[in-house]
A and B are shown apart, each in its own frame.
Chain A
Amino acid sequence: MTTPASRTEAIATEPIPSPGTPPKRLADISVMIGGQGGDGTLTVSDLLGRYFRKLGLYVYTSRNVLSRIRGGHADASIRASCQPILSIKPDVDILMAFDEQAIEIGRSELGPDGIVLYDSTGSAADVPKAYGFPFATLVGGQVGQPIYKNTAAYGALSVLLGFDPVVTRQVIEERFTRRGEEALAKNLKALDIGRQAALSVPGLADRWHVEAGDAHDQILTIGNQAVALGFVVGGGRFFAGYPITPATEVMEYLQRYLPAFQGVVRQAEDELAAINMIIGAAYAGARVMTSTSGPGLSLMTEGIGHAGAAEIPIVIADCARVGPSTGQPTRHEQSDLAHLANLGHGEFPRFILAPATPLECFQLTVDALNIADKWRVPVILLLDQALCQNTTTSPPYDLEGIHMVRGKRLSGADLEKMAEYKGYAFTADSGSPIAPPGTPGVWSQVTGNEHDEWGHVSVNPVNRLKMMTKRMGKMVAAVPDLPTGKYFGETHAKIGIIGYGSTIGPILEAQERLKTRGIHTRFYQPRTLWPVPGHELDPFLHGVDVAYVVENNYTGQFARLIRETVPWHHAKLRSILRYDGLSFRSPDIVRPITEGV
């Protein structure tokens, strides 16, 4: 295999189709762009995404990056479809590779009809259906800087996919105008270089044609942005965090959003400080949140227990990644659930909510703030890396159905009618009325030690019994306020599927694929994971003969919690697990279910 560095013409390893071959029409396409970190793979994905959205397509993108600033293999995948999608397509249709490593990594993902475009400047391809263009050489010669090769790649892809040249150019203008005239001009030149290169290969133009869709009203977003927006409209005004992948975007978005609402965002010295800063702010009466991932969650465990004991309302967004220890910071896993359910020493109430789409991230963040405030408990929003960071088209966020529940807050007028103000008063429903510090005429003691109704440290066994019962009673009393599960598929199907978080995307797609094979399924998506919703699981499991629990971890953590909650359904449960750091693709779910039939 030779790699002539000075070549400027295209190389093809596929017989040229005969002229007049009609374009292959696609309603669902996936493109993978791979190269070294810094090659601009994400930019190509972004440009394609902008074009696809102009076509009204639903878009889903994921990225595979190393935990380093520059260099190392990086790739981005983009899928566009006429139907709503929440996952990456199992097969790659087009691989755009900037180096041989990207070809090597990407070729295993290619579908049977998949083709490869690659930068032949320093690479050769020994795969079928590959087209090499010396993008870096051409762009380096004509624009002066080879870094614009990514825009040339977008140009070549636009020819292959039969994009309208005017709209293709418009996308470049929209993306680069704010970078200044020079940058825009260079990108437009690179675009032209890429287009001309692809047009020079007979038969390549308009090979494929992507259908238009109806997703024009959709927004493009990530789960972490949705959490930040939900926090603002849910009345959240104080956030403290510590940078950690894949949670950092929550803090970054809030740094943009909160100041306009007299909100405060602080980057703390560590996660211990972050959780304790929000505890202090919540005690003072603010609605608060922090976001973190596994390693930070381990440190925050101390503070979450404190909030549980002291009855301080806090929200923690856990953006789960591969663990334990530092694990794989940029990779996907759902292995924090067992820790969260049992988190901390001692026993205290906590609730775990699990959104599955950005829209649910938005809505459940509001729910989390309301539940925390009303019941004076820590509430955990459990997300996973794919949900946090993969971009997806989503219905726009709006204020429909958004409510504010503040719980039993005492005003000066309420207090005037009371003889005594006890911050931990025993009540029938476990919730105690409170007045934050600064309320005229009263003060209170708040502590993580066991305490009496006044908040004074107490070792009295009778008080301990009552206080524990009161706190733990919240686990029952709050159930009507918790997000309910969702059901998809055939109501009377005998095959059940259970999954939460971003797994719903591949599960929904698997259901469709199974249906075409005559296999009907019913899918239950719980949105509260703790307490485990036995009242939803029991009837669901009654209705099916078998239920596949789909989760990204080794031990089947959610399946274990289900067995513990509804042990009489033990024999019906099967686990479908994936723990290689990647999210599920629909065949991972289709295969075991088909084999089980």
Chain B
Amino acid sequence: MVQSAKPTQPIWCPGCGDFALLACVKKAAAELKIPTHELVLVGGIGCSGSIHNFLEINGLHALHGRLLAQAVGVKLANPNLTVFAAGGDGDGYAIGMGHFMHAFKKNASILYIVMNNETYGLTKGQPSPTSQIGFEGNIEKPFDAILTALSIPAPNFIARTFSGDPRTLTAVLKEALEFNRAHRGFAFIEDLSPCVTYNDTYKLWRERVVDVSKLPGYDPSDRKAMFRLCMETMDSGKIPIGVMHRPAEGAPLDPALETRVLPAGALGPARTEIEIEPNMAAYAKLLRSVA
């Protein structure tokens, strides 16, 4: 078999939360038996955005903040591909915020993983959009991606995980990938992934994370209930984790973007026949229509 690019050694510090995510992504893809050549990971810029280099899959290293736009382009061009986008909290919630909001609205079947460490690690520890007040002089309120995601009425899959709990992380990744592969739409996972060098939050987060599925009133098909549950959990000083939204069992399917813009079974723009000869009659008809 022809030799393709071999995975390189991760650039991450020993103990980085991203290692757990990497291991879980490999495990989830392997357990779902997704062929390697059909997997595409669009990486952002930052420590986490280099993850595609450490996997035996197709990698597209995007511009800072632009990975979601590129990932949507990949998916629409070839809907048969399983497309991940993965980056950090700065990439997704600062420079990429516009694309982040629109990804929910667009609802293409891609899986977006944000490795949130509440800092810009690669540039040595500046405050990020999720940094707590006081972190490295931060005076701006932290942004909460789950509340934002819940506020956009679209049939997405939304979850928050913790790199300190790889078992749950793998299960959520598998569910998200299956959601994508069934063309049910956009899946978003915010993984709490501590930066051991500039913002080591392992201990703090382990104490504070609360699995919302264990709380009374948990109903991930009910956005209002989940918004309230998350707000109440946060008000009590805890961090809600778990699956925050998935369309209700048996609810009518709201088609994903790729199934709205392409006919059923279409190969997509990347694979459809574009040579002139087979299209000759249709082209001639189109050109004749211009008077």
Q: B-contacting residues of A (Cβ < 8 Å)?
A: 219-221, 225, 229, 232-233, 235, 237-238, 240, 257, 260-264, 266, 268-270, 272-274, 276-288, 302-303, 306, 310, 396-399, 402-404, 415-416, 418-423, 436-449, 454-457
Contacts and interface: CB of A to CB of B under 8 A. Distances in A.
A274 B72 CA distance: 10
A460 to B, nearest CB: 13
B19 to A, nearest CB: 19
Interface in B172-193: none
Interface string B31-46: 0000111111010000
B62 interface: yes
A583 to B, nearest CB: 24
Given A286-B270, A302-B63, A399-B276, A229 B4 contact: no
B4 A277 contact: no
A310 to B, nearest CB: 8
B42 to A, nearest CB: 7
A252 to B, nearest CB: 14
Residue of B39, B102, B274 ringed by the most chain A CB atoms within 10 A: B274
B70 A280 contact: yes
B72 A443 contact: no
B5 A455 contact: yes
Contacts of B251: none
B269 A238 contact: yes
Nearest to B96: A272
B99 A273 contact: yes
B269 A283 contact: no
B286 to A, nearest CB: 6
A238 B76 contact: yes
- The DSSP consensus for interface residues of chain B is mixed
Given A280-B77, A303-B66, A441 B1 contact: yes
Contact of B57 (A282, A303, A404, A443): A443
B279 interface: yes
Interface residues of B, number: 64
Contacts of A306: 62-63, 66
A259 to B, nearest CB: 8
B61 A446 contact: yes
Given A262-B266, A280-B72, A454-B5, 8 more contacts: A262-B272, A269-B99, A303-B66, A399-B284, A421-B3, A437-B40, A444-B58, A445-B59
Given A269-B98, A286-B270, A442 B262 contact: no
B37 A439 contact: yes
Given A264-B269, A272-B66, A402-B276, A445 B77 contact: no
A284 B263 contact: no
Closest 10 CB pairs of A and B: A280-B73, A235-B274, A276-B69, A447-B61, A237-B269, A280-B70, A285-B270, A284-B77, A281-B77, A286-B269
B74 A284 contact: yes
B124 interface: no
Interface of B: 1-6, 8, 35-40, 42, 50, 52-53, 56-63, 66, 69-78, 80-81, 98-99, 102, 261-263, 266-272, 274-276, 279-280, 282-284, 286-288, 290-291
Contacts of A419: 2-3
Contact of A421 (B2, B61, B283, B291): B2
Nearest to A415: B2
A287 B263 CA distance: 19
Given A438-B37, A454-B5, A221 B290 contact: yes
B272 A285 contact: no
A436 B19 CA distance: 28
B71 A280 contact: yes
A225 B80 CA distance: 32
10 contacts: A272-B99, A276-B62, A280-B62, A286-B77, A303-B63, A404-B275, A420-B3, A437-B58, A440-B37, A444-B59
B274 A404 contact: yes
B262 A273 contact: no
B60 A264 contact: no
B97 to A, nearest CB: 11
A219 B290 contact: yes
B63 A445 contact: no
B154 to A, nearest CB: 14
A229 B59 contact: no
Contact of A396 (B39, B102, B263, B290): B290
Contacts of B63: 276, 302-303, 306, 448
Contact of A443 (B4, B62, B262, B283): B4
A445 B2 CA distance: 15
Nearest to B80: A438
A281 B66 contact: no
Nearest to A220: B291
Contacts of B282: 260-261
A272 B96 CA distance: 10
Nearest to B55: A443
A422 B5 CA distance: 7
B113 to A, nearest CB: 17
Nearest to A442: B4
Contacts of B73: 238, 240, 276-284, 288
